[in-house]
Amino acid sequence: MAKSTTPGNPAAVRQRGVTMKDVAKHAGVSRTAVSFVLSNRENASISEETRTRINHAVQELGYRPNAGARALASRRSDWYGIVTEIVTAPFAVDIIKGAQDQAWLDRRFLLIAPSDQADAVGPNQGLEDAATEKLLEQRVEGLLYAATFHRGVHVPESANEVPTVLINCFDADGKLPSIVPDERGGGRVAVERLLQAGHERIGVINLDPVIPAAVGRLEGAREALAVAGLELDPELVVSGYATADGGYDAACLILDRYPPKDRPTALFCLNDRMAMGAYDAIKERGLTIPGDIAVIGFDNQELIAAYLRPKLTTVALPFEKMGALGVQTLSALTAGQPIIADQQLVDCPLLERSSV
């Protein structure tokens, strides 16, 4: 008697791996014919009858193509690799979602490799390199690099071997195409919204002033003010740590610096965490949002923005869209098509809630 590890389990009866050979035998044709039918070759001439016989055999045997073997023989893996620190930082996980959805549409698989470093520059570049190396071993057809916050990065050299696109970051050496948020546009719409609500004296709670996000958003704010014939009062711009505490401290500074009549009537917080702190500072002083002070944030961190009371009006970072666009750009590159621009800006839309 033959041994059976799982008697009575029909899945165990079916051999470990049903191959094309088995299907061919079952259908009484050559393996080549099966291959032609399954890969739906246009110039192959197989009669309708044989075709259905083969398809039946596929069904009956529960044949499942072996993606690895297929990739080997066809020299196309249908895989893209994405290297990201996002796995460690849930903040921008939407990039992955966007990329994966788009990849799924393009019938491609996304291989996600973790990069444990916040910064790809510097001596400890080993980890990205390992991730990139691993991905190339899998013969990915293209590479994506995604960062948790908008900045310049250095990408391992071996990335040059396949088409590569950067998401939410840009190549410090200026060679690779990238997808980044339109920070300036975001800053503009935020301040436009405040102006539209009648606020002319606007305090800004700024991030570290050198990072691209701060530079762009502030520039946008200035543009919006300029259109209204106003200028940004440098005294009303306070930088702080990019945390709730930082926002609290900065808000206190701004709010306490002036007598009530000179006090700004709106705060533009350059991220939602700082807005969270600003809320506390405002409430502590017995002021209401948006009655006494309107607040607008940036980033649209769902957990914060949607749950603050009142809900925070903020500008969203288009992570999902950037992810999708990254894959689209990569598809174009791997297909040999020219890409539109080296750096693509993606809109940061205003999310109207209740704090303005």
Partner DNA sequence: CTGGGCATGTGACTTAGGTTACCCGCGTTA
Partner DNA sequence: TAACGCGGGTAACCTAAGTCACATGCCCAG
The CA radius of gyration of the chain, in Å to the nearest whole number, is: 27
Q: What count of other Cβ atoms lies within 10 Å of the Cβ of residue 293? A: 25
**What does residue 205 show for φ and ψ, rounded to 5 degrees?**
-100, 110
Identify residues 217-246 at the interface with its own copies (CB under 8 A). Answer: 243-245
Q: How far is the CB of 164 from DNA (least distance, A)?
A: 21
3-state SS record for 320-336: HHHHHHHHHHHHHHHCC
Kindly state whether residue 47 participates in binding DNA, applying the rule CB under 7 A.
yes
Kindly state whether residue 4 participates in binding DNA, applying the rule CB under 7 A.
no
Q: How far is the CB of 193 from its own copies (least distance, A)?
A: 23
Give the C-alpha separation, 328 to 337, whole Å: 11
Report angle CA 237, 317, 115 to the nearest 5 degrees.
Answer: 105
Q: Which is nearer to DNA, 69 or 121 (CB)?
A: 69
Q: Which is nearer to DNA, 5 or 47 (CB)?
A: 47
Give the C-alpha separation, 120 to 152, whole Å: 9
Q: How far is the CB of 55 from DNA (least distance, A)?
A: 13
* Joined tokens for residue 178: 């990238």
Give the C-alpha separation, 144 to 158, whole Å: 13
Among 304, 317, 346, 348, the residue binding its own copies under the rule CB under 8 A is 304
Q: One symbol per residue from 74 to 113: x for binding DNA (CB under 7 A), - otherwise; what is it?
A: xx--------------------------------------
Identify residues 159-198 at the interface with its own copies (CB under 8 A). Answer: 160-161
237 to each of 103, 178, 265, how far by Cα in Å? 42, 30, 14
Q: What count of other Cβ atoms lies within 10 Å of the Cβ of residue 230? A: 15
- The one of its own copies, DNA, none whose footprint includes residue 239, by CB under 5 to 8 A per kind, is none
Among 4, 13, 14, 30, the residue binding DNA under the rule CB under 7 A is 30
The residues binding its own copies (CB under 8 A) are 9, 11, 64-69, 71-72, 77, 87-88, 90-91, 93-94, 96-97, 100-101, 104, 109-112, 114, 133-134, 136-139, 160-161, 243-245, 248, 273, 276-277, 280, 283, 301-304, 307-309
